Amino acid sequence: MAREELPGVKFFLNDTVTITSGGEDDQVVTVISLIEIQPEPIYLVKTQQGKDIRAPQSRLSATDT
């Protein structure tokens, strides 16, 4: 199934990303859901320890895997 791009949304389901700020810095996580789009995309991400975190797109960066 092809990924459908949404304007302003950088990450997709199962993307591996890094949290860059907000108390969980430098943690590598996996995108499990897009919760909201406006005013900024908010994702539900899962840590390697199994914890779910809500993270705005501005706190995430792409991770090379």
pTM: 0.86
> What is the pLDDT confidence band of residue 19, given thresholds at 50, 70 and 90?
very high
DSSP conformation class of 58: G
Contact 64, 16 (CB under 8 A): no
Round to whole Å and give the CA distance between 40 and 28: 21
| SS3 assignment, position 57 | helix
Domain 16-62: state its class: mainly beta
Look at the block and give the residue holding tokens 């994702």.
43
Round to whole Å and give the CA distance between 4 and 59: 22
- The tens digit of pLDDT for each residue in 38-63 reads 999 999 999 999 999 999 999 999 98
